[in-house]
C-alpha cells in the first residue's frame, strides 16, 4: 500500500531547514507520496524547488487559513492545509488506495513506524514522544486492544491522541466527507469521531504501543522575520535572495 504523508507547512525562517530534514527522512521510504500543503494563497517557488530537488514523489498544494481563525485565542494551525489534502485525495480519479498520515513539518519520525502503518486496515495508533507536559501521549493497550489513554489533556476527548499518533486507511477517508474541524485542540478527536471508528477497531502499532517511534519535536524560534532585511543586504546575491523565503 502507498503511504500518503500529509505535512502542513508555513513560511518562516525555519521552514526550509524543517522541510529538508523531514524530506530527507521520507526520501528513504519507498511507495510514499509526500503531500506538502502550504498555509498560503499559492505554492511558493522555494518549497517547489526543494521538493523537485529531493526527487521524492510529492503533491504540492496551498490552502491558506481563513482570516477569521487567525485572531482566535487558540489558532487551529495546519487545519486548512490538511483539509485541502483530504479534498485532493477524494477528488482524484480513480480514487487512490493506501494509508494517510498527518506529520507536521517539525516532527521527527523513525522510518520503521512508516513501514508499520502502511498496513493499517482502518485506523492504527501509536505513542508520540515529547507531547506537552507528559512527554508522551499514548494509547494504553491490554491484550492487544486499546483500552484507554495516557495523555496530558484528555478532557472530554473520545480519542485523546496527538496529530502524529494515528494513521487512517484511505477507504475510511473516501467513505465519508468528514474534514478536520477548525477547532484547536479537538482536530484529531473530531475527525476520528467523524470516521465512526470504535475502540475495538483501533490497530495498536509500535510493539503494542510500548515503543516511541515518532516525536512532537519543536524547533526553537529563531530571529524574527523582521531581520530578513538584514539578510537581504548580504553581499552575496544567493544569500540575499534567501530573504524572500523567510
Residues labelled catalytic: 188
- Answer yes or no whether residue 234 interacts with ligand UGA by CB under 6 A: no
- Answer yes or no whether residue 184 interacts with ligand UGA by CB under 6 A: yes
Of 106, 187, 188, 189, the residue at the interface with Mn ion (CB under 5 A) is 106
Which segment (43-51, 72-80, 142-150, 222-230) binds ligand UGA by CB under 6 A? Answer: 72-80
β-strands 128-129, 136-142 pairing: antiparallel
Containing H/E element for 27? none
Question: CB 85 → ligand UGA: shortest distance, Å?
Answer: 11
* Closest to 109 in 3D by CA, of 18, 1, 184: 18
3-state DSSP helix/strand/coil % of the chain, to nearest 5: 35, 20, 40
Query: Strand, helix or coil at 120?
Result: coil
The number of beta carbons lying within 10 Å of the beta carbon of residue 194 is 15
Of 78, 139, 160, 204, the residue at the interface with ligand UGA (CB under 6 A) is 78
Residue closer to ligand UGA, measured from CB, 77 or 145: 77
Which segment (7-15, 20-28, 195-203, 224-232) binds ligand UGA by CB under 6 A? Answer: 7-15
The residue whose grid cell reads 477524494 is: 90
Angle of CA points 24, 225, 228, to nearest 5°: 90
Whether residue 91 is annotated as binding a ligand: the answer is no
- Answer yes or no whether residue 105 interacts with ligand UGA by CB under 6 A: yes
Query: Strand, helix or coil at 63?
Result: coil
- Answer yes or no whether residue 188 interacts with Mn ion by CB under 5 A: no
Distance from the Cα of residue 68 to its chain's centroid: 22
Q: Which three cell numbers stand for residue 31?
A: 511507495
The residues of the shown chain that bind ligand UGA, judged by CB under 6 A, are 8-10, 39, 76-78, 81, 104-106, 162-163, 184, 187, 216, 218
Rule CB under 5 A: which residues touch Mn ion? 104, 106
Annotated binding-site members:
106
Amino acid at each position: 500500500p502507498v503511504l500518503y504523508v500529509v505535512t502542513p507547512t508555513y513560511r518562516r525562517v525555519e521552514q526550509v531547514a524543517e522541510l529538508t530534514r523531514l524530506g530527507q527522512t521520507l526520501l528513504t521510504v519507498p511507495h510514499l507520496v509526500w503531500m506538502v500543503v502550504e498555509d498560503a494563497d499559492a505554492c511558493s517557488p522555494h518549497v517547489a524547488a526543494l521538493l523537485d530537488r529531493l526527487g521524492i514523489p510529492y503533491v504540492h498544494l496551498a490552502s491558506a487559513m481563513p482570516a477569521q481563525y487567525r485572531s482566535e485565542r487558540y489558532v487551529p494551525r495546519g487545519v486548512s492545509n490538511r483539509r485541502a489534502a483530504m479534498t485532493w485525495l477524494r477528488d482524484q480519479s480513480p480514487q487512490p488506495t493506501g494509508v494517510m498520515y498527518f506529520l507536521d513539518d517539525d516532527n521527527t519520525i523513525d522510518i520503521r513506524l512508516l513501514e508499520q502503518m502502511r498496513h493499517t486496515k482502518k485506523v492504527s495508533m501509536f505513542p508520540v514522544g515529547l507531547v506537552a507536559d507528559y512527554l508522551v501521549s499514548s494509547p494504553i493497550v491490554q491484550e492487544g486492544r486499546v483500552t484507554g489513554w495516557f495523555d496530558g489533556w484528555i478532557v472530554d476527548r473520545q480519542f485523546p491522541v496527538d496529530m502524529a499518533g494515528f494513521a487512517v486507511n484511505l477507504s475510511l477517508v473516501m467513505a465519508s466527507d468528514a474534514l478536520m474541524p477548525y477547532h484547536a485542540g479537538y482536530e484529531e478527536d473530531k475527525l476520528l469521531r467523524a470516521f465512526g471508528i470504535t475502540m475495538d477497531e483501533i490497530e495498536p502499532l509500535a510493539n503494542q504501543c510500548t515503543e516511541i517511534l515518532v516525536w512532537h519535536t519543536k524547533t526553537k524560534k529563531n530571529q524574527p522575520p523582521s531581520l530578513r532585511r538584514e539578510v537581504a543586504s548580504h553581499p552575496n546575491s544567493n544569500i540575499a535572495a534567501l530573504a524572500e523565503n523567510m
